[in-house]
Structure 1
Amino acid sequence: MRGLLCLALLLWPLTLSAQTRAVYPGELSLWVEVEETAHTPLAREMVLITIKGIYRRHITREKLVQPDLDGFSWTQLGNDDWREERLNGEKVKTFTRRMAVYPDRAGTLTIGGFTHVLTLTDEGDDWFEHKVVSPPITLEVAPAPPGQDWWFPVKTLRVSDQWSNAPDQLAPGEGVLRVIRIEALGVTPEMIPPMPELTSPSAMIFAHPEKRFVELSPEGPQSYAFWRWTIRPSNDTSTIVEPISFGYFDTVGRTEQTATISAQRVAYGTAVPQSITAQTQPAAATLPGWPMALLAAAVGFAGVLGTVWGRHMQGVAALQRFAPFDPLARQMRRAARQKQATGVRRAAAAMLLRDGPSERRSQLLHHLDRAVFSPQTGSPELMTFVRAYLRRR
């Protein structure tokens, strides 16, 4: 008799954990936790919630059905997390889902019950469906401060200003790419302010389509935005790109802040690029023998033409007025044959710097810039530009 009693006591825990069609209280639990903060959240401010479940039954299949979340925008922060843990010495299954919700308005809002649809097994190892519903919870939401052009509540914000090369040391005719990178924790990509308009008194500015994406983390969505412009001075000196700024609300410090990207000088360097300078040097002046004789004959011929045309031409500078002897003209033709618009533009700008101002050439350069930088135009006819540019003085 005593042996039977001992055997019954040993088997008693197994009978409690046996799979039955009856589901007892405490076997399946589901609830929602709101991350505690020392403040009342504002409208459109991120609120972190966690849906948790503890299950003491074998689960064959499961599906969590969330409520309508009326009055909230939301995003799920990663995949569901299932684990086997021990609770007070008992082996249980735990379920966790992390979410960020954003109240659309102020007032008392309710997060309805989440329904976990579980497939369990009974005594005959047959499957049956059972639903577990979390209790609803309420959330007090304060209104956002009035007078906001763009309400941007963010947990952390980082702004970087990057340039493809030194903006104040550009080669003649060169443009520069500016990229402003916005990194914001606690917002979705569409909550970042729209790309601002970049202005300058005299620069040519071409805006590129902005790019946005998001990375999910347990602390909330980490959103990124990239604002991009191509900038080129429209004169031969320099220009200033005006500063830009936008406001945001620091949800940690509970203060309104302003992010400002400072003004920047954009200018061509004082010297012609080294590659162009090297090609414009009259290397023939150092050649011995018959090349020197040819050069002298060419100079004499240039002098005769200068007398006929009434122009003052001297030495190698005179030779550079003729396309066959002009290294910059050869460079322009070579770049045009290779369909390198940047090379054509650089050589043309260097020629304009060497020969002095020319209204006709400046107009041709302006049209080339439009064709190169503007996304609405097609590829420029580079060889046509070169022929027209070399004819104009």
Structure 2
Amino acid sequence: MVKPLFILTYYFCISLCLTLSLPVFAISTLQSQVDKNPALAGEAITLTVSADARLAADVLNYRQLEQYFRVMVPSVSQSTQIINGVSTQSTRWSFTLFPFSSGTFTIPAFEINGVRSEPIEVTVLAESASTDAARELFVEATLQGSEEIYVQQMLYYDVVIYFSGDLQRGNLTEPQLEGAEISRVGQDVEGSALVNGVRYRTITRRYSITPQRSGSFTIAPPLFSGDVIERDTSRYNYFARSKTVMQEANPIAIQVKPQPSNFSGSWLVAGLVTLTEEWQPAQSELTVGEPVTRIITLSAVDVASSQLPDLNQQLPPQLRFYQEQPQAKGAERSGRQVAQKIFTTAIIANEAGDLSLPEIRLPWWNSQTNRQEVAVLPARVFSVKAASGGAVPDNIVVTPTLVSERPINHWQWNYTSTLLLLGWLLSLIILGVLKKPQSVLTAVPEAAERRPFADKLLKQACQTAAPKQAAEQLLLWGQQQFARQVLSLEQLSLLVADPVLAAELNKLARQLYGAEHSAWQGTALYQAWHNWRPSKTATIKQRLAPLYPH
């Protein structure tokens, strides 16, 4: 009785394997549909194309959509169903379309092996026609200040994300402006706002943009993509699925004027510029042969630290001086960039008498009043007295000297070090307890941080044609998979030992570092990565660390 049952099971499995292994290209239907029609301006449209056959991912040509839409890399899925011994297969492409403008557009028919889909006419409403409708999520960009600025003048660009639902995660690209320096200012600010009678939660991110040449330009707005949880509140369904949303901010045109012809000096445009000085030790009288330190601080608002010029200190011949390399630094204060440049000079008087240090003048352009101003460090007069020990030799050298007057107490040193160590550990514990929760809007991670690999982030980078993010996730995956430091895609391609995945990794490397850049699609890369399986030998090598590592 057992033997006939075993034989029937055996033949059924053989038949099932043969059915699934047969290549299926006999497509009979091809259907296209969109998730919304009409759509609002700045809103993403999801286009789904379905075929009743198991097909290759690149068999569908979607380049014809790029005439009216920005097309994200599609996600491709394949499925097989067996019902009552009948096998059915299907292939599905999902596109995210972002219309370039409002109007009525036609999504053309697709064709595969002679089978065509029906064209779809899509209407995109203008922004003015959609303001009264309650939107689930939208993005706005604004400039803080005038849209007419001078070259190398810093302007602040705010991006505000409005959302009324549950935002699970999000990613915001950076704005783009040709020939400009763009950097993020401060941290994201969360809040709320009332728009057309609807209460929205908001996330605000600020950028500083510094144009490096004059002319008329348009700031290409950032693109936000994220997941919003869909919940049916009427049925109290709190386990609903999430949907992907995509919104783009409004473009902003600016006019960059050249440096005024009547400006004299090194061009510096800022909101405020000051010059201050400090003397160490602080005194109004100098002594021949005794060194003092002069510290001049140049501070500016709405300026990057790299824009600050050097100062011309015209010191009299009665002084010998030793100037250190200027130290520049920048910080964010109340949403504005503040930069400082510190000039440190060691000064030694050679002879007694009265000594006058001339004033230091730095011309700059006031971006608030649109006129030239001068930052002045006033002149200063010192009285120099003779050295108490007689004449000072000309070859005096200022060097620090360490004199030991008594034996070193090692117990005292260890006790002090222990106290410092305990204080440091206590500060770490306090910082860990008071650490604030992170925002749902992801930011660009620091290179020195050690982050875990995320499959979802790799898939998203491949689907949205983001080669840089895909490379970052692949390198993190390589370090996790092979238990070693992976520094390049080329090194990773040698470690995987798979020709298909290695070829896709090399394509990604050429896209990032090659001389020519073309449209990159990450579908094939993600599929090759997903199909990759480590060999048994490689697995054993990963588990056993080398006894004598090089």
Q: What TM-score, normalized by structure 2, do the two folds share?
A: 0.44
Matched, 1:224 2:334: no
Q: Give the % identical residues.
A: 17
- Verify the 8 A CA contact 2:194 2:200 in the aligned structure 1: yes
- Verify the 8 A CA contact 2:291 2:348 in the aligned structure 1: yes
Q: Secondary structure at the match of 1:131?
A: strand
- Verify the 8 A CA contact 2:273 2:375 in the aligned structure 1: no
- Verify the 8 A CA contact 2:161 2:203 in the aligned structure 1: yes
Partner residue in 1 for 2:256: 141
Matched, 1:103 2:211: yes
Q: Report deviation, 1:30.
A: 0.7
Q: Secondary structure at the match of 1:80?
A: strand
Letter paired with 2:274? R
- Verify the 8 A CA contact 1:31 1:134 in the aligned structure 2: yes
- In structure 2, the CA distance between the partners of 1:51 and 1:269, relative to structure 1 (3 Å rule), is same
Letter paired with 2:137? L
Matched, 1:132 2:247: yes
Cα deviation 1:245-287 (Å, max 9, x = unaligned): 22101112211122232333344236xxxxxxxxxxxxxxxxx
Matched, 1:74 2:182: yes
Q: Report deviation, 1:103.
A: 1.6
1:61 to 157, 169, 174: 169
Flag the structure with higher helix content. 1
RCO higher in structure (CA 8 A, sep ≥6):
1
Matched, 1:150 2:266: yes
Find the aligned partners of 2:242 and 2:341 in 1 and give their Cα distance. 49
* RMSD after superposition: 3.0
- In structure 2, the CA distance between the partners of 1:168 and 1:86, relative to structure 1 (3 Å rule), is closer
Letter paired with 2:153? E
Partner residue in 1 for 2:317: 201
Partner residue in 2 for 1:338: none
Q: Report deviation, 1:168.
A: 4.6
Query: Aligned residue pairs: how many?
Result: 266
1:350 to 388, 392, 404: 388
Find the aligned partners of 2:377 and 2:383 in 1 and give their Cα distance. 19
- Verify the 8 A CA contact 1:168 1:268 in the aligned structure 2: no
1:184 to 277, 281, 300: 300
- Verify the 8 A CA contact 2:288 2:350 in the aligned structure 1: no
Letter paired with 1:179? I
Find the aligned partners of 1:116 and 1:97 in 2 and give their Cα distance. 12
- Verify the 8 A CA contact 1:117 1:132 in the aligned structure 2: yes
Cα deviation 1:313-340 (Å, max 9, x = unaligned): xxxxxxxxxxxxxxxxxxxxxxxxxxxx
Partner residue in 1 for 2:289: 173
Find the aligned partners of 1:201 and 1:242 in 2 and give their Cα distance. 12
- Verify the 8 A CA contact 1:155 1:185 in the aligned structure 2: yes
Q: Secondary structure at the match of 2:228?
A: strand
Which has the greater radius of gyration?
A: 1
Q: Secondary structure at the match of 1:174?
A: coil
Find the aligned partners of 2:301 and 2:152 in 1 and give their Cα distance. 14
Note the residue ranges of structure 1 that are not aligned, 5 or more in a row. 1-20, 271-348, 354-361, 382-393
Find the aligned partners of 1:141 and 1:166 in 2 and give their Cα distance. 45
- Verify the 8 A CA contact 1:45 1:153 in the aligned structure 2: yes
- In structure 2, the CA distance between the partners of 1:166 and 1:119, relative to structure 1 (3 Å rule), is closer
Matched, 1:253 2:253: no
Q: Secondary structure at the match of 2:388?
A: helix
Which structure 2 residues correspond to residues 1-393 of structure 1 after superposition, within 5 A? 26-37=135-146, 40-87=148-195, 90-122=198-230, 125-146=240-261, 148-165=264-281, 168-269=284-385, 349-352=387-390, 362=392, 365-367=393-395, 369-370=396-397, 372=398
- In structure 2, the CA distance between the partners of 1:29 and 1:240, relative to structure 1 (3 Å rule), is same
- In structure 2, the CA distance between the partners of 1:166 and 1:266, relative to structure 1 (3 Å rule), is farther
Q: Secondary structure at the match of 2:258?
A: coil
Note the residue ranges of structure 2 that are not aligned, 5 or more in a row. 1-44, 47-95, 97-132, 232-238, 404-550
Cα deviation 1:217-253 (Å, max 9, x = unaligned): 3452011222111111112334433333221011122
Letter paired with 1:82? E
- In structure 2, the CA distance between the partners of 1:268 and 1:380, relative to structure 1 (3 Å rule), is farther
Find the aligned partners of 2:199 and 2:369 in 1 and give their Cα distance. 42
